[in-house]
């Protein structure tokens, strides 16, 4: 057997040599992803639902007295699970980003005034 092709001596037929390794095969699998996101944002809330309170340790704070602060957030902000409705993808990467935004579900939302 003769060696050829500029391989190091003895490596041409060595299956453990890096250039002789097989390319990995990929398979599509379904995974369940849980992701927690956090972001401070400003939203507009009716003064009727806000009350200033004073605490010696915290100072003056705003307290929310409406029915559901999370609902206020959802009505004021386009959350990632709804963003795909509002963007365009003019490139393959953009179209993939839009598809990646689809089908996320909010399992838990917690809002507080800071």
Per-residue pLDDT of the chain (114 residues; tens, 9 = 90+): 555 567 777 777 777 777 777 788 999 998 888 778 788 888 888 889 899 988 888 888 888 888 889 888 888 888 888 887 788 778 888 888 888 788 778 878 888 777
* pLDDT computed for residue 2 by the predictor: 57
pLDDT recorded at residue 40: 86
Q: Categorise residue 16: left if φ over 0, alpha if ψ from -120 to 50, beta otherwise.
A: alpha
Instruction: State the pLDDT at residue 5.
Output: 67
Residue 7: predicted pLDDT? 73
Classify residue 22 as exposed, middle or buried by CB count within 10 Å of its CB (0-12, 13-18, 19+). Answer: exposed
Per-domain boundaries in the chain: 35-101
* pTM for this predicted structure: 0.55
CA distances from 31 to 28, 34, 110 (A): 10, 10, 25
């Amino acid at each position: 057997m003769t060696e050829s092709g500029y391989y190091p001596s003895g490596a041409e037929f060595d299956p453990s040599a890096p250039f002789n390794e097989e390319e990995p095969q990929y398979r599509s699998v379904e995974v369940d992803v849980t992701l927690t996101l956090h972001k401070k944002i400003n939203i507009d809330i009716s003064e009727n639902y806000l009350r200033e309170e004073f605490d010696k340790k915290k100072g003056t704070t705003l307290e929310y007295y409406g029915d559901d602060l999370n609902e206020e957030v959802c009505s004021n902000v386009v959350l990632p699970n709804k963003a795909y409705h509002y963007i365009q993808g003019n490139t393959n990467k953009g179209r993939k980003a839009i598809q990646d935004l689809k089908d996320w579900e909010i399992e838990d939302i917690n809002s507080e005034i800071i």
